[in-house]
Chains A and B, each alone.
Chain A
Amino acid sequence: MAEWPFWDYIDEWGINQIQEWLMNKREVPVKARAKIQRILLQLAGTPLWTRPLASNLDDYDGIVEIRIRRINVQYRLLGYRGPGEREFTILFPAKEQGDQFVPLAAPQIAQSRMRIVVADRSRVCEHIFH
């Protein structure tokens, strides 16, 4: 079905970090999760992603941010186009406050995770739309 199937990053203990974050109601309230999942479904069927919904992070080669806002919270899903052709992996879920990522090191973490996934494809699993 999807132009861009989504994958989630799995940490060294085998935990799906993206799913953990999404299901944590303090981090992501239920209504925000509904919006994030619905937007991801739509992006999965969209061949060309454009601003303001998605953009490349200029200073972090290969990292793409998906921008989803609900009420006054700006969610930033950082990921990269891979590991396969026409696939997208969500590497690190962050937020943005006052033009800054929270946590501040979110892009660096995403980049280091991207290197891990590039080297070891088993560190991703299909995104759970849950």
Chain B
Amino acid sequence: MNTSSIKRDLLESLKDREFRQAFNLENVYATICFQLRALREQRGLSQAGLGRTAKMAQERISILEDPNADTKPTLNTLLRLADGLDVGLDVRFVPFSTVLDRSVHTDIKGLEVPNFTEELPSLEREINHDLRREQIVATLAQRNSNLISGEKFDEIRRVVNNRELPPTGSPSITIATPTATGARPPATGAQQTVAPNQQLVFGFGTPFVTASRTARGRSALPWSRRGMRHLSSKQSWSRKRA
């Protein structure tokens, strides 16, 4: 049984509006019931223990974990449980592709969520990492503001975002460097190290940000010259010299 064939089968049924509406409802409640139990067991809590944390009776937790129960949790109840478990609650409208996807990926591990304290170190790491990326993008853009159009700026951001950052303290990053025709250059010289204190040279019409300049002002990019040959006379190749 693979997820694609299950999705295909479900999609057939979802074409029927009545099934779609019912499946949507069951998907919400089944997920809550099973996830609540998964979260409780992840924390090694009994129903009574979770009840104490969320200020609810054990019987109530038992009902909330039962997908056959008549009583369905309100948003307020879910918020109280989220508070008790110290996790976030995300209620939003989504396309049916998301409903389908979540319906077929039902393993327990996928339902487990760390509490805020457990999540905090990785969350901080992640945010700091993103901040460093943003700083690099901003520095590169600032130093080349005369050359960067909005589109190019987005390209820099995309290239930087797709790269592993080096350890803190070494600000340089490596950017892939395709030729003007769009084909990637040979392995040697195919990548350039671009540091925030260097300037960028852009080949307009090329799909990626492609060049840098050495501190002495000489182009360090043999491939860029090869790339230039493919440019038509109407296309410009800006190379800023010191």
Residues of A at the B interface (CB closer than 8 Å) are 1-3, 5-6, 30-31, 33-35, 37-39, 41-42, 44-47, 52-53, 67-69, 126-130
Contact = CB atoms under 8 A, between A and B. Distances in A.
A1 B2 contact: yes
Interface stretch (B48-56, B103-111, B152-160, B161-169): B103-111
Given A5-B1, A30-B22, 8 more contacts: A1-B106, A3-B107, A38-B103, A41-B104, A46-B34, A46-B108, A53-B67, A126-B5
Interface stretch (B10-18, B128-136, B204-212, B229-237): B10-18
Looking at chain B's contact residues, the main secondary structure is helix
A68 B68 contact: yes
B6 A34 contact: no
Contacts of B103: 38, 41
Contacts of A67: 68
Nearest to B28: A38
B190 interface: no
Nearest to B33: A42
A9 to B, nearest CB: 16
A38 B68 CA distance: 12
A99 to B, nearest CB: 16
A45 B106 CA distance: 5
B3 interface: yes
Contacts of A38: 23, 26-27, 30, 103
Contacts of A127: 1
Interface string B37-79: 0000000000000000000000000000011100000000000
Nearest to B67: A39
Contact of B107 (A1, A39, A69, A129): A1
B116 interface: no
A46 B3 CA distance: 15
A8 to B, nearest CB: 11
- The 8 A-B pairs of least Cβ separation, nearest first, read A45-B106, A34-B22, A31-B22, A69-B68, A38-B26, A34-B23, A5-B1, A45-B107
A49 to B, nearest CB: 11
A41 B67 CA distance: 13
Contacts of B108: 3, 45-47
A55 to B, nearest CB: 13
Contacts of B104: 1, 41
Contacts of A1: 1-3, 6, 104-107
B9 interface: yes
A41 B31 CA distance: 10
A126 B110 CA distance: 24
A127 to B, nearest CB: 7
Contacts of A53: 66-68
Contacts of A69: 68
A130 B105 contact: no
The CB with the most chain B CB atoms within 10 A, among A3, A35, A37, A42, is that of A42
29 contacts: A1-B1, A1-B6, A1-B107, A2-B106, A3-B108, A30-B16, A30-B19, A34-B13, A34-B25, A35-B22, A37-B10, A38-B26, A39-B26, A39-B67, A41-B6, A41-B103, A42-B30, A42-B31, A42-B34, A42-B67, A42-B106, A52-B66, A52-B68, A53-B68, A69-B68, A128-B9, A129-B10, A130-B12, A130-B13
